[in-house]
Structure 1
């Protein structure tokens, strides 16, 4: 998952806020989170509300194993990158699979496919 903050927070503030025992990567104010086990409900339900509530303008869910519910990644279930963008206080989601080129407000010049992300995770 990736999150892009319109308002700046310090690393100390982020550490204080983030839940324990979770893997996060912080890149230029964007949080990337991977769905790595049966905790997908936290990533798709709980984080959605938390991040929207604190005004995270963009975050990504990288579900490289296709663990999320069909409601979130489609049927049949397959590896999916979901990019959530805050628009007028509510998230709009775009999903990317296979050779789809990712489109990000936080990284407008990004030239990367979903499959390239999935391959990098499985190596």
Structure 2
């Protein structure tokens, strides 16, 4: 769940100057509105932790200059928004082209972001509507939505409402979707040898 903190719209520059504070809370900026991100559930954190442990094995094996930052933001172009994904993989070699990286640990270019992942909580519409559109506009090559509780509407995950991992891959500037459930092996264009099933991810590796 998310909560708007103010009525007056602020710019992205004002946002990074004020937030986050020292309370340990997470915030995002959505079209000028500061959103406080609620404390996630234990299952959410286990799944996020599992992926944040296994994906680095892949980019290390491939000798790619990638890393997962702790609190970096993603800013869409021409938009007063800033997102804090559950998992953000950054291409270190492109950071020289990022105007906001050194001072604000913020990335704005698709070439800097090979993969971003959102693990769905109660604000599923933000992940499926808002962020999908913004990540596509930025040019992020791959976007995963891990909907382990099948919270999204039927138009997104099907009439049977099963836990689903949706992988959006950028093809000619538009996202194409592949979906994985149960024993389906994840097929990632960025990490083609990522050898886990959807259910293994939902179980955070615990069989």
Query: Given the two structures, how large is their TM-score scaled by the length of structure 2?
Result: 0.49
User: Residues of 1 paired with 2:115 and 2:131: CA distance?
Assistant: 14
CA contact (8 A) 1:25 1:33 kept: yes
Q: Deviations over 1:12-60 (max 9, x none)?
A: xx426243xx5512245422210021x1111101111101100001010
Aligned residues: 114
User: Residues of 2 paired with 1:87 and 1:46: CA distance?
Assistant: 19
Q: Which residue of 1 aligns with 2:143?
A: 59
Q: Which residue of 2 aligns with 1:71?
A: 155
Unaligned runs of 5+ in 2: 1-47, 52-65, 76-81, 91-113
Moved over 4 A (4+): none
By relative contact order (CA 8 Å, sep 6+), the higher-ranking structure is 1
Q: Secondary structure at the match of 1:52?
A: helix
Q: CA 1:121–1:35 in structure 2 vs 1: closer, same or farther (change >3 Å)? A: farther
RMSD: 3.0
